Chains A and B, each alone.
Chain A
Amino acid sequence: MSKLSSRRRALTGVALCLVVLLGAPFVGDTVRPEAAEFVLWELRVPRVMVGALVGGILGIVGAAFQTIFNNPLATPSTVGTVAGATLGALMALVLPVPAVLAGLPVVTVAAFAGAVGTSLVVGAVASRGQTRVEDILLVGIALTLGASAISTGLQYTADMLALFSAAQWSLGHLAQLGYDGVWVLGPVAVLCAAVLLSQVRGLEALVAGDELAESRGVHVRQLRAAVVIVGALGVAVCVAWCGPIAFVGLIVPHIVRRVFGSAQRVLLPGSLVTGAAFLVFCDALARVVASGRELPVGVVTAALGAPALVVLIRRR
């Protein structure tokens, strides 16, 4: 791939993302003209903004996790972060706890506690001397299975109303968050992007292995801890507000590697932008694919992401 063509591909990719982000508010059922302005500015625009923020966070965190765990299948979903956040959020939704405690939304706090809890377990395993990356993934799978079992148990014992809201939430959705969602997710997205982008040089060195990176001046343990904590925070907030949205963190970095290139300084910002556009695109699709009713966006990301991943793996 020549330099010129790779630059042209990157520019085309960014332009495509912008078209998706700017065009998405206009996608959906036509409404009565007098309500059109309200629907656009009060429903669709904040929904697209929330989608862009969540997709951006999931994309860039997925890319950073793949690098620090040196495995293209390591994402917040596969190392247990999403499962921990989901378990925490489900507990807050199903158990009889107040919605707001000390001014903080309990679902978000519980999701964050769950995400950090699983990350601490994975972190403890990872920091034990000569742990292989495969071990971390296996611990992630064990945590995910354990958290899922507890989540299922919780739902089994819940009353019908709580069960319905939990089931709806657990499919992943972007609707009805409005500008409140933007105000919460915006700062988290900025924090995630700022911290992860500031670590690009360290992540580039880490590609060649822990010891070589350390010998070149990278504080590998600090770098891993920073990425895991910031990633857990970002994922927890996304899960608490929108439910577990699958495949974005896994699939987006793979698309970016093919379109933009695999260097970390391209991969991370590329995954931020592409993740935003990918989730907004999936959400627009969710609005139009079944006429008269909306699908949860998590269903669309999974339906697009799973086969795309299989194709990508076969092409490798």
Chain B
Amino acid sequence: MSLLDLRDVGVRRGGRELLSGVSLEVNPGDLLAILGPNGVGKSTLLRLMAGLVPPSAGHVRLGTEPTGALSPRERAARVAWLPQERSSDSAQTVEEFVATARFRFGESTSVAIEHCARAFGQADVTGLRARRCGTLSGGERQRVAVAALLAQETDLLLLDEPANHLDPSYQRTIYELIAKLWRAGHGVVCVTHDVNLLAHLGDADRLRVIGLGAGGVRFQTTFSDESLPEKLSALFDTRIIALRDGRARYLVPAIGESAPREPS
């Protein structure tokens, strides 16, 4: 049984069609990277998957049920969402904020905080537990948001720019964590602008890359696809080239006429 199934899904926003004809399936152990220019509806697509936005056409199923037929608590048991905006500007402490991610379990706050210990460790925020959310730096907020995502304990994870605001060291930490969850059998859908961070995840054949353009899905392929630079160049309307360092391949935008050609 797939974790998530989108069939011919469309979304309308303010009278115009933002997305149409989107069909995707996420199974346990799948990792999908969603790439695309600003404003094409990547974040809306994640909200649709989380059941926060209803489709105007087609259907979105979590497991066997359409998202609209599930209560918020039932949806929260199947899918966790990391939004792009980190709104935790409150006077809540980090552990109180992360504990709210366990709302679906119906525990008291103190029990929920105890059950968050593993998530605190995984996202490396144990030292921040007593801090107020409003006093955290951008990078700390990001790690706290990831801890909350893990505390919800779902099989499907939706990540909107998970490495935003993080220095290279923590970017690596977060992507290694995602890789670990992926290998452990979670289904992961990740919206990102930095395709190279995906290279940290290994097993390029199994990493699915979805190119989202204006109106819908332009291509679906894997990270190991040799023609990925050309596909991304067309998607972003700017030349993307591949640089190699040993076995690793890095895709970067070519700047100026002197940009090196991809070695064949």
Contacts and interface: CB of A to CB of B under 8 A. Distances in A.
B234 to A, nearest CB: 33
Contacts of B80: 215
B47 A216 contact: no
B72 A212 contact: no
Given A208-B87, A209-B87, A262-B92, A216 B109 contact: no
Interface in A201-240: 201-202, 204-205, 207-209, 211-220
B110 to A, nearest CB: 9
Interface in B97-123: 97, 99-104, 106, 108-109
B136 interface: no
A216 B90 contact: no
Interface residues of B, number: 31
A9 interface: no
B30 interface: no
Contacts of B104: 216-217
Given A204-B100, A257-B91, A217 B75 contact: yes
A212 B47 CA distance: 10
A265 interface: yes
Given A211-B83, A214-B72, A215-B50, A265 B92 contact: no
B52 interface: yes
A36 interface: no
A269 to B, nearest CB: 13
B31 to A, nearest CB: 20
B81 interface: yes
A208 B91 contact: no
Contacts of B195: none
A218 B72 contact: yes
A209 B100 CA distance: 12
A205 B96 CA distance: 9
Contacts of A19: none
B122 to A, nearest CB: 18
Contacts, number: 74
A177 interface: no
Contacts of A200: 109
A265 to B, nearest CB: 5
Nearest to A262: B91
Contact of B109 (A204, A212, A218): A204
Interface in B34-69: 47, 50, 52
A262 B96 CA distance: 11
B26 to A, nearest CB: 17
B96 A204 contact: yes
Contacts of B99: 204
A152 to B, nearest CB: 39
A263 interface: yes
A263 B113 CA distance: 13
Contacts of A263: 92-93, 96, 109
B88 interface: yes
Given A208-B97, A265-B109, A218 B103 contact: yes
B142 interface: no
Given A215-B52, A262-B92, A205 B100 contact: yes
Contacts of A211: 47, 52, 83
Nearest to B109: A265
B71 interface: yes
B77 interface: yes
Given A202-B103, A205-B103, A216 B92 contact: no
A217 B97 CA distance: 14
B192 interface: no
Contacts of B76: 215-217
Contacts of A204: 92, 96, 99-100, 109
Contact of B100 (A208, A219, A220, A257): A208
Given A204-B99, A216-B103, 5 more contacts: A204-B92, A207-B100, A215-B50, A216-B102, A263-B96
5 interchain residue pairs of minimum CB distance:
A217-B76, A217-B104, A217-B73, A205-B100, A262-B91
Interface of A: 200-202, 204-205, 207-209, 211-220, 257, 262-263, 265
Interface of B: 47, 50, 52, 71-73, 75-77, 79-81, 83, 87-88, 90-93, 96-97, 99-104, 106, 108-109, 152
6 contacts: A204-B109, A205-B103, A208-B88, A208-B92, A216-B103, A217-B103
